[in-house]
Structure 1
């Protein structure tokens, strides 16, 4: 399948959100509370009316998707970009074309298409500043053979996801990272 066919196969934002069973309330909370800054809107302005589309490879259990998807949707609204969601685990043929570091099915992955359905840019699964934060937090964990490792790792990820839900600075890190990829 070509990218346009994958796009057409995808769920609309409403279909994706209404089908969520894990992070729906938290994602909707960010969607309601996040607003693009004036600077972000100005950066996106040249993309208005360009007929852009984006395929969002995602799953509703993913903490990074919980953060990134509502930011993407606000950006899409701003520039009139159509968004379609594909569930990663049901679309491995496409997912495996966009592996992180060539090995990981990390999500979300956003495949931006121009008006002709050609790949314009790929973004994901995290803004670099967030990746740096995750690496920093992981470095504080005990070794994997430590009996407390699993509990401490779960606590670390819970803390990160909790901050994703309320930290506007993180929201704007994501928006700026996507802008950097899209606006050249």
Structure 2
């Protein structure tokens, strides 16, 4: 994977969006694709191995659970209802990504609460030209959610790869230990379970209000 060093202009990014958006699918189509991959022991992407297939299997289970159990506070529900401009939420992801499995159901449920928000999904590795414009600390970290003003086809906010509190936990752990251990990654999944999507929902609403 080539990571481009140069940032493109807003017009060039709009052109990239015009190429990528037609390839995007709905959340429901993405979930169906992931479930089909699981049934065949596969994952998204050109690289296929047992580890990625196992992550995809685990993530499919996580997303099924969250799709059924997610609930939001009245403050979040009222905040989302106030969005009165047509926007598209375009998330770049892959099926093996644990952070995506914990946050994409939140994105979908929030979007379902307001018809002005159209939630779409594309695969990172098939859209690297766009992904390269929204790196996190120089890396291709996912999920990466782009909030797009439909009227202008411009990105007014971006989010990812983790909610703000989880990002802080990761930064603190890296500062102390240098790298993320398997034990920490397990602890992070426990944090997601306890948080129940609250921090992600708060972050996404704050991003919408930037418009």
- TM-score, normalised with respect to structure 2: 0.74
Partner of 1:72: 107
In the alignment, is the contact (CA less than 8 A) between 2:67 and 2:105 conserved in 1? yes
Partners of 2:20 and 2:127 within 8 A in 1: no
CA shift digits 1:114-169 (9 cap, x unpaired): 2322222111111221111223344564x67xxxxxxx8112212322442x22x2
Which of 12, 36, 40 aligns to 2:26? It is 12
Contact 1:8–1:84 (CA<8 Å) still a contact in 2?
no
Structure 1 position 29 matched with structure 2 position 55: no
- 1:46 aligned residue: 82
Q: CA deviation at 1:15?
A: 1.6
Query: Any stretches of 5+ residues in structure 2 without a counterpart?
Result: 1-14, 39-55
**C-alpha separation in 2, matches of 1:138 and 1:170:** 24
Q: With a CA cutoff of 8 Å and minimum separation of 6, indicate the structure with the bigger relative contact order.
A: 1
Deviation digits for residues 82-111 of structure 1 (CA, Å, limit 9, x no counterpart):
11111111111110010012x110111111
Does residue 88 in structure 1 map to residue 114 in structure 2? no
Q: 2:161 aligns with which of 115, 121, 125?
A: 125
Q: Residues of 1 paired with 2:129 and 2:69: CA distance?
A: 35
1:153 to 2:181 alignment:
yes
What do the CA deviations read for 1:2-56 (whole angstroms, capped 9, x no partner)? Answer: 42442221121112111223111211211211112100011212214x2211110
Specify the SS of the correspondent of 1:104: coil
Q: What residue in structure 1 maps to residue 3 of structure 2?
A: none
**Alignment length (residue pairs):** 172
TM-score (norm 1): 0.84
1:183: which partner in 2? 209
Is 1:136 the counterpart of 2:172 in the alignment?
yes
- Report SS of the residue matched to 1:112: strand
CA-based RMSD: 1.9
